Each structure stands twice: as structure tokens, then as C-alpha cells.
Amino acid sequence: MSRWHTPVTLHGERVRLEPLSPEHAQGLYRQGRSEADWAYMPRGPFVDLADTRHWIDEAVTGSAYLPFAIVDTGSGRVAGSTRYLNIRPEHRGLEIGWTWLGADWQRTGVNTEAKLLLLEYAFEQLGCIRVEFKTDERNLRSQRALERIGAVREGVLRQHMVVQQGYLRNSVYFSVLDSEWPATRQHLLALRDRASGA
């Protein structure tokens, strides 16, 4: 297994990103039942604990993924999940996606710190030259969030995915390049400190 696919734990001030496992199922199920939070995801919210476990199994066994549970270090509670996907060592790039948080952690700075940890590891440990993100064209909140952290909007892929209820989704792509990372890192640190009142 290459280091690009090797599970790793990433430690921040407010959050810890740890390798996703069946042990996270109960916590994720508690946080992942709101339809609104999954409106723009390829699938809907968790319907029961067995569904949550199946989702975890698919993420963990997929060779194209490196999935994480987002854990609030203060409370020890599972806040949500995120992952690396479309991992391409030969092109020194990957995507950050499948990110969602339970309602208690939305607009709290948790997502900002999670993105900081993921980008830091991608650029500084894996040697990425490009990290990309994609979001549903309808998901304006996600697009604003990506712009806020300093990602650059690149364009729209039309009818890119078939998602819930057979909807033909247009995907908006964003990216951060290695040359942009130092400035983006400083910006993310400032956002994190502002969110924590530092």
C-alpha cells in the first residue's frame, strides 16, 4: 500500500481526523439523519445503523478513497466525515470531498480546521501539486465556503453525475495548487483562529 492510501490520523486544535472505522457508526448515525445535510450528496441520509455501517464499509474498502471520521477533540464526539478521493499519485493530485457535518458543528470552524489539516497533509507530506474539490452547482453554500477558504473556481462539468432521484447534476470544480498553498495556509490559520476567538 502506498503512503497515498495509508490511513493516518491528523491532529488539530479543535478536531481530530481519524481513519474511518465501524467504531464510528453509532456517532455518524446520530449526526447523519438530516435530509437537509445530504440534499446535494450522491445519496440521502442514513436510514438506520445498518445503513451507516454499509456506508462505512463501502468507504473503507474502496481503493480510490482514504476516509476519515471528524472528531471534536473537546467532547470526543463524532462530528461528521470527510475523505480523500480520486487519489492520483502519478499526477501528484487528489480530491477532498464527501464532507459533511452534523448540525451541532456547522458554522463553528470545525470544517475550516478539517480542510486545513487535509490540505496541509496533502501538500506537505504527500507532495501534491493540486488538490481539487467539486460541488453540486445548486449548492451555493458549499461554493461560498470553498471560495472563503481560498480555493479557485475552475469551471462546470455539465451532467457530470446522476444523483438522488435520478437528477443529472452539474458539478462545479475548485482547486488549490502547490504554488498557492503558502498563502492559502496563512488564510486558513487566520480563519481558524478567528473562529476559536484566538
The whole-number pLDDT of residue 198 equals: 55
Report how far residue 131's alpha carbon sits from residue 92's, in angstroms, rounded to the nearest whole number.
9
- pTM metric for this prediction: 0.94
The whole-number pLDDT of residue 1 equals: 59
| Structural domain span for residue 25 | 3-196
Bridge partners of residue 82, in order along the sequence = 68
CATH number (domain holding residue 49):
3.40.630.30
Most distant pair of Cα atoms in the chain: their distance? 45
Mean pLDDT, rounded, of the chain: 93
The confidence band for 95, taking pLDDT boundaries of 50, 70 and 90, is very high
The whole-number pLDDT of residue 114 equals: 95
Report how far residue 151's alpha carbon sits from residue 148's, in angstroms, rounded to the nearest whole number.
7
Average pLDDT over residues 121-132: 98
pLDDT digits (tens, 9 = 90+) for 135-168: 999 999 999 999 999 999 999 999 999 999 899 9
Percent helix, percent strand, percent coil in the chain, to nearest 5: 40, 30, 30
The contacts of residue 50 (CB under 8 Å, 6+ apart) are none
Average pLDDT over residues 97-124: 92
Number of domains in the chain: 1
The whole-number pLDDT of residue 36 equals: 85
Report how far residue 151's alpha carbon sits from residue 46's, in angstroms, rounded to the nearest whole number.
29
The whole-number pLDDT of residue 37 equals: 85
Average pLDDT over residues 117-134: 98
Cα dihedral 33/192/133/17 (nearest 10): -60
Report how far residue 136's alpha carbon sits from residue 157's, in angstroms, rounded to the nearest whole number.
10
pLDDT digits (tens, 9 = 90+) for 15-71: 999 999 999 999 999 999 988 888 898 888 999 999 999 999 999 987 789 999 999
The confidence band for 195, taking pLDDT boundaries of 50, 70 and 90, is confident
The whole-number pLDDT of residue 57 equals: 95
